[in-house]
């Protein structure tokens, strides 16, 4: 997925410029009618008549009973009251503004406001809530302790130095007060060898990199690029070419090396640049902050390396030089409807409706959610976007924390651009790119929405309607059975929370779903533009998918943290394997039978804590509480299993990642929970790959995993070899990976039996004698509120920005920044 126009440096610059020049385009339009945000501000929970009937009536209708009078159900409001304050919630506007003001008052931080900061000033990159330690959090949510003291996690971009670096610091307690607030380096969550809570910033001179280096080189070969592709990449307004390169940068031997590639700029509004590589690359040594000390190290064209521009120009001028063709923007790279309309497709397709309104409740202020027997809190951070806390089922916590840690897209190829690419996407962040969702498309039209906010350059940006919540009925039942005299079948109703982050060229859709049997599914689907390669002698690295285009092979690995608490924190991970055996039995007449048995064991320590899913799905992985057995003596637990394909990184000891991507090495990784190991990665791991802020492999230091608070770090992803069907965009039907958690001997029987939304039809000799519906509500025609069948998409606004320094809460303006 990668992607970013991974013109990341430029994107950052662009957004800074925008911020300083954009007039405050105050929300001039009248507040649009947003039909999918229902009953805003209502605190009353109204229950529709249909639901009342379901609750009160012990209806057991049969054929001869008259249809009930249609009743027009009012839409349910969906307000819950969180039992506790959401301690994973973002900072409020006022808290953030207070921290920012306080930071600028600290002379020792020597900060410059972002809009005035140059490459040689310190500035603030991030202000957000510091996650609470689990011990403090549990004392609050499970008992009567006071809420953990709030602190801010601040990232400073310290560039007023020869050694530019990002510094993670803690500020607090909040709200800040001149007499009590302090700051100190944030070090305990990181395990960088060199310590200190800082990591170097290889991006500090992104302005100079383009103006004094990349465009100068682009201009130096303008004659050649005009000849090859009728264009230039020289930083001119009339450029039709672009240049950008590898991520992370090569960091061997203490040198910082870049490879950059030429790309065509799209000639349309479509974001097709990652489909337009041109097959020319150059290498630079950009070690240090002084562009005059940087070194140009050569060109690569059609797998031939030229050490100097003169060598390259001489080759190009020679008669024998063969010019490879360009990749050119066109309809093949555009997503709008094209081709003959499919039969009957112009008629509207089926839609789902909620005849009784929402059957879940949300505390929008606290981002706390209840559906059926589940409840949880939602958190949101810049690095990883949406995360879930204190996920309970029937009042008992199943997971303390569930959420994305990092997403890797590791490419390979015979050219240095593809070979050198291994995007660690939290560098760009999942929060800043969790854009507004499109009702009726990203989520059902009737979904509820939450906003999310993130900090950027002394402002808070709000993605409106960027998390959606909805119930859905699957197109297959959760249970059924037919005999000669009855059929029993149960609707598979589930609840999903979804957000989509578009990190550059790729769109990741994250869905967390909760089911009536107590199971939970985490899924990621991907769409958007692939990053492709120039097709020249690279058959071993991808399919030939367009004119001079290779669908560049790459691995996606997305790491999720699942901090299980099964009936408390005293947990173990039990393994149960199916093994083929030859075995004789007292009844087998002395003969061995070829059969199979179960072998049970426990993951004893972190030394055994990293492994892959067994071939043929032979081994079950079950998080259990050894002290909590069911009546039959089996451990109560939750099993973890792949839902759809998952994958770990094919590359071993990646030359691009070194120690920065160790989380991607296995399918399942289990550690003992520690407040010092809250996250598998750090947003700036790419800046120092040999000694990153978080080297995940260091978590594994032999600690016992029996009867401990265990954390599972689970990888999803796919081995993506794009084919012609990835043009113009990858499709989510198959770009899909998921993991499920399911109760394992946790209850005495399946919990979905509690739903009334099932039926048992009794029949005999062609006649139905009973239809049992267990008191379920009846959707009357009147209650089916189809209005609007098509959501009002003219209410889509993009992000809303509020300035924090100077704090200007009453003048929000619209501005949406994407990486490309
Ligand atoms: C079905 O409904 C009719 C009319 O209300 C009633 O007489 C009959 O007993 C019902 N049958 C069953 C099986 O409940
Ligand atoms: C940026 O610098 C200008 C000129 O010195 C100053 O007027 C302005 O207030 C500064 N911006 C902020 C947000 O402090
Ligand atoms: C503070 O930052 C300025 C640039 O904003 C720099 O010139 C100055 O040297 C810095 N002062 C210290 C003490 O680091
Ligand atoms: C959280 O835990 C870490 C590691 O034990 C500790 O250093 C830190 O002080 C704790 N934070 C708070 C707010 O107690
Ligand atoms: C919390 O406080 C309430 C009221 O004082 C008490 O009834 C309850 O037992 C306490 N709960 C815990 C877990 O300490
Ligand atoms: C805190 O200190 C700053 C800078 O010295 C000052 O401008 C501000 O008024 C102080 N705020 C309070 C609440 O004392
Ligand atoms: C080359 O580019 C120029 C300006 O971008 C355009 O006017 C011209 O038609 C192009 N020539 C060819 C041969 O495509
Ligand atoms: C692009 O603009 C530059 C500077 O204005 C000019 O010298 C050059 O000829 C233009 N290139 C093309 C292809 O039009
Ligand atoms: C590219 O290189 C390959 C092998 O080095 C060579 O066979 C081929 O002719 C070259 N293509 C062009 C267009 O120069
Ligand atoms: C989301 O933000 C919009 C615009 O500020 C606001 O009207 C709406 O009430 C917010 N929605 C929620 C659920 O907070
Ligand atoms: C954890 O569970 C084990 C096994 O049931 C038990 O022996 C141990 O006492 C428990 N530890 C705690 C702290 O409850
Ligand atoms: C990984 O690669 C680095 C750099 O090439 C090398 O120093 C290290 O020994 C390798 N580690 C393993 C486990 O192969
Ligand atoms: Cu992909």
- Those residues whose C-beta lies under 8 Å from the C-beta of residue 350, and which sit 6 or more positions away, are none
Is residue 281 one of the residues assigned to a domain?
Answer: yes
- 319 is in which domain, residue-wise? 206-333
Instruction: Please state the domain count of the chain.
Output: 1
Is residue 651 one of the residues assigned to a domain?
Answer: no
Average pLDDT of the chain?
A: 89
Is residue 473 one of the residues assigned to a domain?
Answer: no
Instruction: Provide the pLDDT for residue 446.
Output: 87
pLDDT bucket at 799, cuts 50 / 70 / 90: confident
Q: Looking at 214-223, 267-276, 351-360, 660-669, which range is the least confident one?
A: 351-360
Q: Which two tokens stand for residue 791?
A: 């959501």
Ligand 7 centroid from CA 229, angstroms: 9
Is residue 319 one of the residues assigned to a domain?
Answer: yes
Task: Count CA atoms within 13 Å of residue 740 on its CB side.
Answer: 14
Pairwise CA distance, residues 517 & 628, whole Å: 20
Is 144 near ligand 5, meaning CB less than 6 Å away? yes
Cα of 323 vs its chain's centroid, Å: 41
CATH of the domain at 210: 3.10.450.40
Is residue 231 one of the residues assigned to a domain?
Answer: yes
Is 800 near ligand 10, meaning CB less than 6 Å away? yes
- pLDDT of 578 higher than 90: yes
Using CA atoms, how far residue 111 sits from 156, 157, 419, 796, in Å, is 9, 9, 38, 36
Tell the residue nearest (CA) to atom 6 of ligand 9: 302
Ligand 7 centroid from CA 441, angstroms: 39
- pLDDT of 12 higher than 80: no
Question: What is the DSSP track for 595-639?
Answer: EEEEEEEE--BGGG-EE-PPGGG-EEEEEEEEEEE-TTSPEEEEE
pLDDT bucket at 786, cuts 50 / 70 / 90: low
Instruction: Provide the pLDDT for residue 134.
Output: 97
- pLDDT of 37 higher than 90: no
Ion ligand 13, residue ranges at CB < 5 A = 1, 720
Q: Which two tokens stand for residue 670?
A: 């289990």
- pLDDT of 703 higher than 80: yes
- pLDDT of 78 higher than 80: no
Pocket residue to mutate for ligand 10, from 31, 35, 38, 40, most atoms within 8 A of Cβ: 40
Is 451 near ligand 10, meaning CB less than 6 Å away? yes
pLDDT in tens, 44-76: 333 344 434 433 433 434 455 555 544 444 445
Between 808 and 316, the higher pLDDT residue: 316
Among 500, 452, 496, CA closest to 88:
452
Q: Is 506 a catalytic residue?
A: yes
Is residue 539 one of the residues assigned to a domain?
Answer: no
**Average pLDDT in the 753-777 region?**
94
**Average pLDDT in the 161-185 region?**
95
- pLDDT of 701 higher than 90: yes
pLDDT bucket at 5, cuts 50 / 70 / 90: very low
Is 627 near ligand 11, meaning CB less than 6 Å away? yes
How much of the chain, in percent, has pLDDT values that exceed 70? Answer: 89
Q: Which residue is catalytic, options 506, 529, 535, 746?
A: 506
Helix axis angle for 309-317 and 222-229, nearest 10°, is 40
pLDDT bucket at 114, cuts 50 / 70 / 90: very high
Q: Which residue is catalytic, options 242, 247, 425, 442?
A: 425
pLDDT in tens, 482-532: 999 999 999 999 999 999 999 999 999 999 999 999 999 999 999 999 999
pLDDT bucket at 178, cuts 50 / 70 / 90: confident
Is 109 near ligand 10, meaning CB less than 6 Å away? no
Instruction: Provide the pLDDT for residue 809.
Output: 80
Tell the residue nearest (CA) to atom 2 of ligand 2: 116
**Closest ligand relative to 148 C-alpha:** 4
Is residue 781 one of the residues assigned to a domain?
Answer: no
- pLDDT of 784 higher than 70: no
Q: Is 121 a catalytic residue?
A: no
Is residue 297 one of the residues assigned to a domain?
Answer: yes
pLDDT in tens, 528-577: 999 999 998 899 999 999 999 999 999 999 999 999 999 999 999 999 99
Instruction: Provide the pLDDT for residue 797.
Output: 79
Ligand 11 centroid from CA 707, angstroms: 6
Ligand 2 centroid from CA 182, angstroms: 26
Tell the residue nearest (CA) to atom 10 of ligand 2: 116
Pairwise CA distance, residues 364 & 256, whole Å: 46
* pTM for the model: 0.89
The shares of helix, strand and coil residues in the chain, as percent rounded to the nearest 5, are 15, 35, 45
């Amino acid at each position: 997925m990668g992607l970013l126009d991974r013109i990341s440096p430029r994107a950052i610059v662009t957004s800074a410029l925008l911020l300083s020049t954009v007039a405050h385009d105050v929300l001039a339009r009248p507040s649009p009618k947003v039909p999918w945000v229902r009953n805003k501000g209502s605190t009353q929970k109204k229950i529709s008549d249909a639901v009342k009937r379901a609750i009160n009536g012990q209806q057991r209708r049969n054929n001869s009973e008259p249809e009930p009078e249609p009743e027009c159900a009012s839409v349910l409001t969906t307000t819950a009251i969180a039992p506790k304050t959401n301690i994973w919630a973002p900072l409020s506007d006022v808290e953030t503004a207070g921290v920012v003001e306080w930071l600028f008052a600290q002379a020792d931080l020597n900060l410059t406001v972002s809009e005035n900061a140059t490459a040689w000033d310190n500035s603030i990159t991030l202000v957000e809530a510091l996650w609470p330690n689990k011990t403090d959090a549990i004392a609050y949510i499970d008992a009567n302790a006071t809420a953990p003291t709030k602190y801010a996690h601040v990232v400073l971009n310290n560039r007023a130095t020869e050694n530019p670096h990002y510094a993670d610091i803690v500020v607090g307690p909040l709200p800040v007060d001149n007499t009590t607030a302090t700051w100190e380096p944030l070090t305990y969550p990181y395990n960088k060898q060199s310590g200190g809570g800082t990591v170097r910033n290889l991006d500090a001179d992104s302005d100079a990199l383009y103006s004094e280096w990349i465009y100068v080189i682009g201009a130096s070969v303008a004659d050649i690029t005009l000849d090859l592709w009728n264009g230039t990449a020289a930083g001119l307004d009339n450029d039709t070419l672009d240049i950008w390169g590898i991520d992370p940068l090569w960091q061997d031997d203490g040198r910082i090396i870049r490879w950059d590639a030429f790309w065509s700029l799209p000639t349309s509004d479509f974001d097709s640049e990652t489909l337009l590589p041109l097959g020319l690359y150059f290498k630079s040594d950009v070690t240090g902050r002084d562009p005059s000390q940087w070194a140009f190290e050569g060109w690569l064209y059609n797998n031939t390396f030229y050490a100097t521009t003169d060598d390259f120009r001489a080759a190009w001028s020679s008669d024998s030089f063969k010019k490879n063709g360009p990749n050119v923007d066109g309809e093949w790279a555009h997503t709008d409807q094209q081709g003959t309309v499919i039969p009957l497709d112009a008629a509207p397709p089926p839609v789902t409706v909620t005849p009784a309104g929402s059957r879940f409740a949300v505390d929008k202020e606290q981002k706390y959610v209840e559906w059926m027997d589940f409840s949880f809190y939602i958190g949101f951070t810049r690095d990883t976007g949406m995360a879930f806390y204190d996920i309970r089922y029937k009042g008992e916590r199943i997971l303390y924390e569930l959420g994305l840690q990092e997403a890797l897209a590791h490419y390979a190829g015979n050219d240095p651009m593809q070979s050198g690419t291994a995007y660690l996407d939290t560098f760009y962040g999942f929060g800043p790119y969790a854009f507004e969702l499109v009702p009726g498309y990203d989520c059902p039209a009737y979904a509820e929405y939450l906003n999310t906010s993130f900090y950027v350059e002394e402002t808070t940006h709000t993605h409106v309607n960027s998390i959606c919540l909805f119930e859905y009925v699957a197109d297959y039942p959760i249970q059924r059975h037919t005999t000669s005299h009855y059929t029993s079948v149960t609707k598979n109703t589930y609840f999903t929370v979804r957000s989509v982050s578009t990190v550059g060229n790729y769109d990741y859709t994250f869905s967390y779903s909760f089911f009536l049997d107590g199971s939970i599914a985490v899924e990621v689907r991907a769409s958007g533009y692939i990053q492709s390669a120039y097709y020249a002698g690279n058959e071993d690295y991808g399919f030939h998918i367009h004119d001079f285009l290779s669908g560049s092979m790459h691995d996606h690995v997305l790491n999720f943290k699942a901090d299980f608490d099964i009936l408390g924190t005293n947990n173990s991970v039990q393994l149960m394997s199916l093994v083929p055996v030859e075995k004789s039995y007292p009844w087998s007449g002395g003969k061995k039978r070829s059969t199979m048995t179960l072998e049970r064991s426990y993951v004893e320590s972190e030394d055994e804590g990293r492994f892959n899913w067994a071939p043929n799905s032979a081994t079950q992985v079950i998080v259990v509480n050894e002290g909590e057995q069911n009546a039959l003596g089996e451990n109560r637990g939750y099993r973890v299993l792949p839902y759809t394909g998952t994958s770990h990184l094919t590359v071993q000891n990646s030359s691009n990642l070194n120690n920065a991507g160790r989380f991607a090495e296995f399918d399942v990784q289990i550690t003992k929970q520690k407040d010092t190991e809250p996250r598998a990665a750090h947003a700036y791991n790419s800046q120092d790959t040999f000694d990153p802020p978080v080297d995940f492999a260091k978590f594994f230091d032999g600690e016992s995993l029996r009867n401990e608070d265990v954390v599972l770090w689970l990888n999803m992803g796919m081995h993506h070899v794009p084919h012609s069907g990835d043009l113009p965009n990858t499709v989510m039907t198959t770009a899909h990976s998921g993991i499920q958690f399911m109760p394992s001997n946790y209850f005495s029987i399946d919990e979905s039996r509690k739903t009334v939304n099932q039926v048992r039809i009794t029949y005999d000799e062609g006649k139905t004698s009973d239809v049992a519906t267990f008191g379920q509500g009846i959707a009357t025609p009147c209650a089916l509120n189809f209005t609007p069948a098509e959501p009002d998409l003219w209410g889509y606004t993009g992000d809303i920005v509020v300035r924090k320094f100077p704090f200007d809460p009453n003048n929000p303006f619209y501005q949406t920044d994407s990486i490309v």
